[in-house]
A and B are shown apart, each in its own frame.
Chain A
């Protein structure tokens, strides 16, 4: 009976998302419902997290078909942590939506698409079936295709075409890879895949398939050299959509890598995982170069997604209990802080009436609260202690050092410094100095509230690391030993 709980984080946003399609002209009703839904799913995800950490993981066998035959939904420690993070982001986004979502956007189905996106992301985190993962990828991508073009401006169309084509191509590659894997191993259930791949000790062809899967997830997660679609397409939609994309979409790619390369393909570490460390290093370098290369404030934040993904991949590549814990910590931290930064930069761009840094200046006088929040967010992003970025980076870099990946760790440290430089540049340019142009719009308080909530969460995550670390460590331990996952899904 309790196992049905696993379905709720997908079902609630899906149901209300579909329901709200019929009420796109009723602004008040839609907004009230959206608050009800995000609070409901937040409550359920908190309960689910509590339940899994006290009573152990839950498995839902849909339709009563037992594990290798039916589709399973699995809520293990990692999944519930991700679900909780998604729902916190969704709640903050619902608050931010009050400032940024116009009447027109509601008419164009912003809320239904928003909830379908949440449903897709939650589904991707919960599924225990590789083909089902593809399906949930498509659900969230379809919602994101809708969200990215709301507004319908010229450059939105231009960038979304590239975004969609690239994601479509990687989805086709995903299906093909699943077909390859099915023909070799004869199953698409992740637990059974893990078991069977371990049995044959991941022979050559399976490593080839693993790399194909890596390419698929690397495209979704914007890793070097498959990142070029990301920065521009993330800055064209409305700030709330950028924030959702930056916080959730690339992270689904990272989560999938984390799952697949610990559970299934973890037997040829010297081939796959060493490769990951190099890709991670290059991603960090390219990301910070991108962030330093532009004076468009939104683009600076969008480029900053990449080094973060690089850090997480470094943890997967290092593959020790500590570095995996670091990856999970960093994943949660990055979801919160990227959403907060995209919110703040969106507010800043509205306030200034431009996103060009060179035309800004002196806004600390007109919007002091936003300025200082942005400053704190920059410190969190760069990983200054005691904020959450520091804990994640510390675990990741110490893990990498312990395993002897000194170059990657060094690049990580250097890129942190450059990340700080790239965001502080916004703070100095936009908030210090003389007021260059009068602000166009007042900063709305609900936008600041949403950012403040997320910032508070990152600060608590950092200061209270001692409380959260045992849970993260438990999730990492269950990933390092795939037999745990296999046993409770297949019930052996």
Chain B
């Protein structure tokens, strides 16, 4: 199961990196979204996947789910959700004011 999850996270990372190397702004934003999904899955996998075990550590209990990665992911998901929605609005406004969404035309010069 861990191997499958790792491959999935890796695939998301690869697709995300491919997308952020594109020139179109919207694709880059989607790329960052995929990257953060990959990162979240990765955190989950790193805490070891146990099914049907409670997230409690007491004496005598051998199998338990590690609650920490879940707490970390929850925090991280909320943050990336906020940032992505902000980025989408920003990308739209940038497109409106600069009349282009291609990164190579968003370069600018020194004297402004």
Chain B residues proximal to chain A, CB less than 8 Å: 20, 25, 28, 32, 35-36, 39-40, 42-43, 46-47, 68-69, 72, 75-76, 79-80, 82-83, 86-87, 90-91, 93-94, 97-98, 106, 108, 110-112
Contacts and interface: CB of A to CB of B under 8 A. Distances in A.
Contacts of A159: 108
Most-contacted residue by chain B among A154, A158, A160, A180 (CB, 10 A): A158
Contacts, number: 94
B46 A188 contact: no
A299 B110 CA distance: 8
Contacts of A294: 110
Contact of B111 (A135, A175, A296): A296
B91 A176 contact: no
B111 A161 contact: no
Contact of A168 (B32, B40, B93): B32
Contacts of A299: 110
A154 B35 contact: no
For the complex of A and B, 8 pairs with smallest distance between CB atoms: A183-B46, A157-B94, A179-B43, A179-B46, A175-B39, A154-B97, A158-B106, A138-B79
Given A135-B75, A161-B94, A172 B35 contact: yes
A387 interface: no
A153 B97 CA distance: 8
A70 to B, nearest CB: 11
B90 A161 contact: yes
27 contacts: A131-B72, A135-B79, A155-B112, A157-B90, A158-B106, A159-B108, A161-B25, A161-B106, A164-B90, A165-B20, A165-B28, A168-B83, A169-B20, A169-B35, A171-B83, A172-B32, A172-B35, A175-B36, A175-B40, A175-B72, A176-B42, A179-B42, A182-B43, A182-B47, A182-B69, A294-B110, A296-B111
B83 to A, nearest CB: 6
A149 B92 CA distance: 13
A356 interface: yes
B111 A356 contact: yes
Contacts of B91: 161
Nearest to B112: A155
A357 to B, nearest CB: 10
Contacts of A232: 108
Given A164-B86, A164-B90, A178-B43, 19 more contacts: A134-B76, A135-B75, A135-B79, A149-B90, A153-B97, A154-B97, A158-B98, A162-B106, A168-B32, A171-B83, A172-B32, A175-B72, A179-B72, A182-B47, A183-B47, A188-B68, A294-B110, A296-B111, A299-B110
A105 interface: no
Contact of B93 (A135, A142, A155, A157): A157
Given A165-B20, A168-B32, A182 B90 contact: no
A64 interface: no
A152 interface: yes
Contacts of B112: 155
A162 B75 CA distance: 24
Interface in A112-134: 131, 134
B106 A172 contact: no
Contacts of A295: 110
